[in-house]
């Protein structure tokens, strides 16, 4: 690997020092910790496996806390860890107030959170309020109860159409493909916006509302610092009949003015106001971030201080390698955050999308989501792996200099690419089964992490891995990168250490770039971030170079890196 840290590369591989007790206490008490946090997403089944069953678990996470400290992250967002049949990777929850026995116990959870807190790292739990799993006790009761019973009123049951009710109540399509309605033995149908194992809850039912407040308290009492709210924009629905035909409904991220029957309805904010009241019962108040794929103009409602407080912004995650789009998105989101009182969120990768090292290694236009490439089986002839890694580091460095929270998805700090070509027999994502096969799904970004160069499952555990790891994973292992001051891991560590110096102030100003291909902005303390999207090298302003995502060439910024200058 090339040397990418200039200067001070000798110190880079070591990462962040362990914080002292005062620093930990300050961080733990800070009510605004979430505003500028660097958050690391852990997909628990694929992070670290402590008992060799091929599935990552909570003890695995606890054992890797020193790694999280050395990375220099402020918080961990833990994807669902609740009991689940894994019909949708844990987003099908059987019991909201317990730990999946495959992942550990509540005691393991307590041990994990105590370890994180002792290291000054906050924990954000994923909460899934739109749907339960079909194994949840409520759904089992609903199936056993007759039509019209209170047990069915917790979900969205309807009679079918046609003389024998054999036609689904509407022609709506599930997010994962196929219909949104499933028929039960007595002839009724229930709604599921996602897989059929994920029946949608009825948020008009006060019992449902009350139960989620109990869940928020349950985890907040156990020390959880914040919540990531799954599909926050779908909870409340207008199921007035006749249901509108699918062809007349807009997409979830269009501005539907709150009139779509299930995406982004205005009433959903009553729910989140009641959540905010509970989150504010705690000291410091618990934070929350909405996963809401809504039109940018309507995002601020989710992020309001009277509601969840923050909302994901997926605009950069969907942006091509294009400075003008980046600039527009950044300006718009910072303005919006200022007006809602929230802070922005930035993310390039998560467990639902093709890894950004791969997206940015694809030809322009394909790089927005990479699905075409993945569907074609991951054609290596169109993927420039090296370029993708360079660009991914550059945009990550840019992101980490922006005001707001930056989200990092496990494995991106290793420069991991998407794993293409997973054999069909080994796939797990319901998208693959429901589309069927048209969308190969999200397993390629969920492959267990490589910790060591070789050995069983590259050190993920002492036996196998629940999704197959490709041979090239070993080259990206933590073990290799820790020895290399020029590695992507060393780069992330250095960037995160430096970022801490920026925390607190949210000022931001664009500076006219050296050319239209350059994005240049300045942060407090004369901190400049400059990204060269073009092909020609550009001059840098005078100052000391804190970090570059790829080496400078004769003191100039070549194509594709970001530099921080002060």
What are the residue numbers of the active site?
A: 230, 281
Q: Say which entry of Ca ion, ligand NOJ, none residue 230 contacts (CB below 5 to 8 A, set by partner kind).
A: ligand NOJ
The mark string for 66-95 relative to ligand NOJ (x by CB under 6 A, - otherwise) is: ----------------------x--x----
Nearer to ligand NOJ, 291 or 389 (CB): 291
128 binds ligand NOJ per the rule CB under 6 A: yes
25: which residues sit within 8 A by CB, 6+ positions away? none
Q: Say which entry of Ca ion, ligand NOJ, none residue 51 contacts (CB below 5 to 8 A, set by partner kind).
A: Ca ion
Least Cα distance to 141 among 128, 129, 132, 150 occurs for 150
Q: Say which entry of ligand NOJ, Ca ion, none residue 9 contacts (CB below 5 to 8 A, set by partner kind).
A: none
Is residue 154 a contact partner of residue 205, using CB atoms and an 8 Å limit?
yes
Nearer to Ca ion, 54 or 534 (CB): 54
Nearer to ligand NOJ, 55 or 347 (CB): 347
Give the separation between CA 85 and CA 95, rounded to whole angstroms. 11
By three-state DSSP, how is residue 89 classified? coil
Task: Report in angstroms how near the CB of residue 44 gets to ligand NOJ at its nearest.
Answer: 13
The mark string for 55-74 relative to Ca ion (x by CB under 5 A, - otherwise) is: x-x-----------------
Nearer to Ca ion, 137 or 463 (CB): 463
Give the separation between CA 269 and CA 68, rounded to whole angstroms. 34
Give the separation between CA 233 and CA 298, rounded to whole angstroms. 10
Task: Report in angstroms how near the CB of residue 84 gets to ligand NOJ at its nearest.
Answer: 11
Is residue 127 a contact partner of residue 288, using CB atoms and an 8 Å limit?
no
Q: Encoding tokens for residue 306?
A: 């009277």
Task: Report in angstroms how near the CB of residue 230 gets to ligand NOJ at its nearest.
Answer: 5
Q: Say which entry of ligand NOJ, Ca ion, none residue 53 contacts (CB below 5 to 8 A, set by partner kind).
A: Ca ion
Q: Say which entry of ligand NOJ, Ca ion, none residue 238 contacts (CB below 5 to 8 A, set by partner kind).
A: none
Nearer to ligand NOJ, 127 or 518 (CB): 127
Question: H helices within 119-198, ranges in order?
Answer: 137-144
Size of the site for ligand NOJ (CB under 6 A): 9
Selected from 5, 47, 49, 520, the binder of Ca ion by CB under 5 A is: 49
Distance of CA 445 to the CA centre of its chain: 12
**Residue with CB nearest Ca ion?**
57
Task: Report in angstroms how near the CB of residue 283 gets to ligand NOJ at its nearest.
Answer: 30
For 176, phi and psi rounded to 5 degrees? -90, 10
Task: Report in angstroms how near the CB of residue 540 gets to ligand NOJ at its nearest.
Answer: 39
Is residue 390 a contact partner of residue 22, using CB atoms and an 8 Å limit?
no
Task: Report in angstroms how near the CB of residue 62 gets to Ca ion at its nearest.
Answer: 12
Give the separation between CA 3 and CA 16, rounded to whole angstroms. 19
Q: Encoding tokens for residue 64?
A: 């890797």
Q: Encoding tokens for residue 462?
A: 């002492």
Q: How far is CA 560 from CA 27, 111, 275, 387, 536, in A?
A: 35, 42, 43, 8, 10
230 binds ligand NOJ per the rule CB under 6 A: yes
Q: Say which entry of Ca ion, ligand NOJ, none residue 173 contacts (CB below 5 to 8 A, set by partner kind).
A: none
Residue 150 is given by DSSP the state: T
471: which residues sit within 8 A by CB, 6+ positions away? none
Task: Report in angstroms how near the CB of residue 88 gets to ligand NOJ at its nearest.
Answer: 5
Selected from 3, 9, 51, 105, the binder of Ca ion by CB under 5 A is: 51
Tokens 């991914």 belong to residue: 392
280 binds ligand NOJ per the rule CB under 6 A: no
Q: Say which entry of ligand NOJ, Ca ion, none residue 384 contacts (CB below 5 to 8 A, set by partner kind).
A: none
311 binds ligand NOJ per the rule CB under 6 A: no
Give the separation between CA 278 and CA 217, rounded to whole angstroms. 7
The mark string for 322-361 relative to ligand NOJ (x by CB under 6 A, - otherwise) is: -----------------------------xx---------
Strand partners, 548: 563
Task: Report in angstroms how near the CB of residue 433 gets to Ca ion at its nearest.
Answer: 24
194 binds ligand NOJ per the rule CB under 6 A: yes
54: which residues sit within 8 A by CB, 6+ positions away? 457, 461, 463, 464, 465, 466
Nearer to Ca ion, 63 or 320 (CB): 63
Is residue 516 a contact partner of residue 504, using CB atoms and an 8 Å limit?
no
- DSSP calls for 157-179: EE--BSTTS-B-S---B-TTSSB
Least Cα distance to 230 among 39, 417, 96, 369 occurs for 96
191 binds ligand NOJ per the rule CB under 6 A: no
231 binds ligand NOJ per the rule CB under 6 A: yes
3 state SS for 400-431: HHCCCEEEEECCHHHCCCCCCCCCHHHCCCHH
**Residue with CB nearest ligand NOJ?**
91
Mode of pairing for the β-strands spanning 405-409 and 345-347: parallel
264 binds ligand NOJ per the rule CB under 6 A: no
Query: Rule CB under 6 A: which residues touch ligand NOJ?
Result: 88, 91, 128, 194, 230-231, 291, 351-352
Query: Rule CB under 5 A: which residues touch Ca ion?
Result: 49, 51, 53, 55, 57
């Amino acid at each position: 690997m090339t040397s990418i840290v200039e200067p001070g590369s000798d110190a880079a591989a070591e990462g962040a020092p362990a914080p002292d007790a005062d620093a930990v206490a300050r961080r733990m008490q800070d009510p605004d910790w979430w505003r500028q946090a660097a958050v690391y997403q852990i997909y628990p089944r694929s992070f670290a496996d402590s008992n060799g069953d091929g599935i990552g678990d909570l003890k695995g996470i606890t054992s890797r806390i020193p790694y999280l400290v050395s990375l220099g992250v402020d918080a961990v967002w833990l994807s669902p860890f609740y009991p689940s049949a894994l019909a949708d990777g844990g987003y099908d929850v059987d019991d909201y107030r317990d730990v999946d026995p495959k992942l550990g116990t509540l005691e393991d959870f307590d041990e994990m959170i105590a370890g994180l807190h002792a290291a000054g790292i906050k924990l954000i739990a994923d909460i899934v309020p739109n749907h339960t799993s079909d194994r949840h006790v409520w759904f089992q009761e609903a199936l056993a109860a007759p039509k019209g019973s209170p047990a069915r009123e917790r979900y969205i049951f309807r009679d079918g159409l046609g003389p024998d009710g054999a036609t689904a109540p509407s022609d709506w399509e599930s997010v994962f493909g196929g219909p949104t309605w499933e028929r039960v033995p007595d002839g009724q149908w229930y709604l599921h916006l996602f897989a059929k194992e994920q029946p949608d809850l009825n948020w008009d039912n006060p019992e449902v509302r009350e139960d989620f407040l109990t869940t928020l308290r349950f985890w907040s009492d156990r020390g959880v610092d914040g919540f990531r709210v799954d599909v926050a924009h779908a909870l409340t629905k207008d199921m007035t009949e006749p249901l509108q035909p699918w062809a007349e409904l807009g997409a979830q991220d269009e501005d539907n003015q709150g009139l779509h029957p299930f995406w982004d309805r205005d009433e959903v904010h009553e729910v989140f106001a009641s959540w905010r009241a509970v989150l504010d019962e705690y000291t410091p108040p618990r934070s929350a971030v909405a996963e809401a794929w809504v039109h940018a103009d309507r995002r601020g409602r989710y992020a309001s201080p009277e509601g969840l407080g923050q909302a994901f912004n997926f605009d950069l995650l969907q942006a091509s390698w294009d400075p003008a789009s980046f600039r527009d998105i950044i300006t718009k989101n910072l303005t919006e955050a200022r007006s809602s009182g929230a802070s922005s969120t930035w993310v390039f990768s998560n467990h639902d999308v093709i890894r950004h090292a791969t997206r940015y290694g694809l030809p322009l236009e394909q790089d927005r989501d990479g699905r075409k490439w993945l569907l074609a089986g991951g054609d290596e002839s169109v993927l420039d792996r090296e370029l993708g890694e360079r660009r991914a580091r550059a945009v990550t460095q840019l992101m980490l200099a922006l005001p707001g929270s930056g989200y990092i998805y496990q494995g991106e700090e290793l420069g991991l690419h998407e794993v293409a070509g997973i054999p069909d027999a080994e796939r797990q994502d319901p998208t693959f089964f429901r589309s069927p096969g048209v969308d190969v799904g999200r397993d390629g970004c969920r492959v267990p992490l490589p910790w060591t160069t070789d050995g069983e499952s590259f050190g993920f555990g002492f036996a196998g891995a629940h999704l197959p790891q490709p041979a090239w994973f070993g080259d990206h292992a933590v073990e290799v990168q820790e020895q290399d001051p020029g590695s992507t891991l060393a780069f992330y560590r250095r960037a995160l250490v430096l970022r801490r110096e920026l925390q607190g102030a949210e000022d931001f100003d664009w500076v006219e770039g050296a050319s239209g291909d350059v994005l240049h902005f300045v942060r407090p303390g004369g901190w400049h971030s400059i990204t060269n999207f073009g092909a020609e090298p550009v001059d840098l302003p005078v100052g000391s170079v804190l970090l570059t995502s790829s080496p400078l060439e004769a003191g100039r910024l070549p194509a594709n890196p970001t530099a921080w200058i002060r």
